Structure formats: structure tokens, C-alpha cells
Amino acid sequence: MGGLRIPEVAGGARILAFGDYQPARVVTNDEIAQKVDTDDAWIRSRVGIAERRIAGPEEGIVEMAVQAGGKALAGSGLAPEDIDLVIVATCSAESPMPSHAGIVAHRLGIGAPGAFDLNAACAGFCYALGTASSAIRGGSARNVLVIGAEKMSQWIDWTDRSTCIIFADGAGAAVVTASDSPGIGPVVWGSNGELADKIVIEDRNSFIRQEGQSVFRWATSAIAPVALEACERAGVAPADLAAVVPHQANLRIIDAIARRIKAPNAVVADDIVRSGNTSGASIPLALSRMIERGDVPSGAPALLIGFGAGLAYAAQVIQIP
């Protein structure tokens, strides 16, 4: 018997464009201080956040994902019918089914694609991007729309100072396509289930709860080696990076990881200051805004680093579109 006749595919995958969306409503630290015992200086010193965006009742995960995905699709130069797989990374779903991805695809005019949601919490976008790259290299897809979209505000107890100052809403997206030369490096991913109880939403009637100090210690010690391994697998030295884009969890965590990576020529994303922690949306949201401002050059390498509940983590080097 002969072997499988696998269709010839390109040597890799690359990102054509990013897109982002943020709700219009800005919630400042001073506004939060009217509800809980805190103030602007305390919040800035603890997590580095000055303000965050909170979605209105009419802005669900689907609506935000459509906006970000549509922007990325427009920037890619592809038509909706060119997309054959849609992945939505989210951990804040309003309901468990149907998936958001199929609805998002329909609203964007993408006909009959593969479509599914992926939940790796704050590492979700990196997981989804790795999955999209693998699908393309394996011949299962040609063009993939990857979206991170979160409405964390619906899972927040606004009287809990430890969480209400941190989380926010938004979406970021990327269009991934087949390429003769790889523009997405190997994903380095994993998890630490022993610490899975450190960030949880226990059931549909619960709010998000986290043990901040435990997560801080884990992130500042365990994540930099993962990021460095992603650089090694991609064949890119940290000194050659143009950007380092960690999950926007906490400005002190971001700074600690960046110091350990030692990428002297890289712009380090600090979108958390104005956007808050948007979980699985934070990496594409931050990078899309960096590209739009002209902070990073097209064609240069960027290191993406996701980490969070699970405790899941993932990193990969990409070529900036």
C-alpha cells in the first residue's frame, strides 16, 4: 500500500496584518476609588494601570471580535472568502455554546470555514497562533483568522479591590497565511496544573479570583526561560528582537520578564497602562497598537509571551507584518 498523498504546502506561515478593538468607555483609577478602598497612586504602584476600557451591555465577545477581526482582514488584503479557518481565543465566554468563532465568521461574511474557540486564558492568543501555524503547515488551512477577545468585566466583583483594578475588555486579531519562508517561529508551550487553583472562576455564579502573590512569583521566575527557548528555536538572538510583547498582566511582571530576557534593542509593550489586563486579547491588542503608532518596523522579529490561568504559558517569535 502507498503512503498518504499529502498536498504540497508552503514551508511556513506568516502574519499579514493585525487589528484591534477597544470599547469607548474609559474607567480611570479615580472612578474605581469611588467604589473600593484604593487610590490612583496605589493602583499604579501595584499593577501599573492608569485606566482601562470596559464594554457596554451591547458589546459582547462576538461584537468586539468582529471589529478586531474585520480590521485585520481589511489590512491583510484578503477577501472574506479567502479565510478557511477562524479561531477565537477567549476565557470569558458568556455561554459555553455555540462557539463564538462560527458566529464571528458569519458576521464577517466568511463562508463555511473551520471555526472553534480556544481557552488557554491569558496564553490563549499564543496558543491559537501556534495552532493556526500548524494547521497551515500541515495542509489543513491556507488562511486563518486568529482573534483574542475578552469581556472580563462580566466576571469581576467590582467590590473586590484585588481584581477590579486589573481586568478589562477588548479584542485583537491577526490574519495568518501560508508562506515560502516562515514568519512564525515554533511555539514553546506548557502548563503547571499544580498551580491551577491560583486563578479561577469556579462556576457560572462566581467571579474571577486569583492569588496575586503566587502568580507574581511564578510569572517572574518561570516565564523568561520559556521566552528564551522560543528565541532559540526560532534562531533569533534576544539582541535582534525589535519588540517584546508579553501578556499585559501587571507592569511589574512585564518589567521583570523583560530584564531577564535582556533584549536591549527591543521596544517592550506596556499597553496595560491604558488598556488594563485583557487576558487573551492583550498581546494582539498591544502589538496592533504598536504597529499602528509606528513603534516597530515591518519585517523585524517580535517575541510574544503569553501566561496566565491554568497555569498555561506559550511563546513564539514572529515577523512583524
- Could you confirm whether 100 is annotated as catalytic? no
Q: Locate the DSSP E strands across the chain.
A: 12-21, 26-28, 51-53, 85-89, 114-118, 143-151, 169-179, 188-191, 199-200, 209-210, 243-246, 267-268, 301-308, 312-319
Cα separation of 220 and 210, whole Å?
16
Instruction: Region of 251 please: left (phi>0), alpha (psi -120 to 50) or beta.
Output: alpha
Alpha helix ranges (H) inside 138-194:
161-164
Nearest to 68 by CA among 176, 139, 156, 173: 173
- Could you confirm whether 122 is annotated as catalytic? yes
- Could you confirm whether 29 is annotated as catalytic? no
Marked catalytic residue, from 122, 126, 164, 231: 122
Please check whether residue 90 is in contact with residue 150, taking contact to mean a CB–CB distance below 8 angstroms. Answer: yes
Nearest to 166 by CA among 306, 19, 42: 42
Alpha helix ranges (H) inside 169-278:
212-234, 251-261, 272-275
Please identify every residue annotated as catalytic.
122, 247, 277
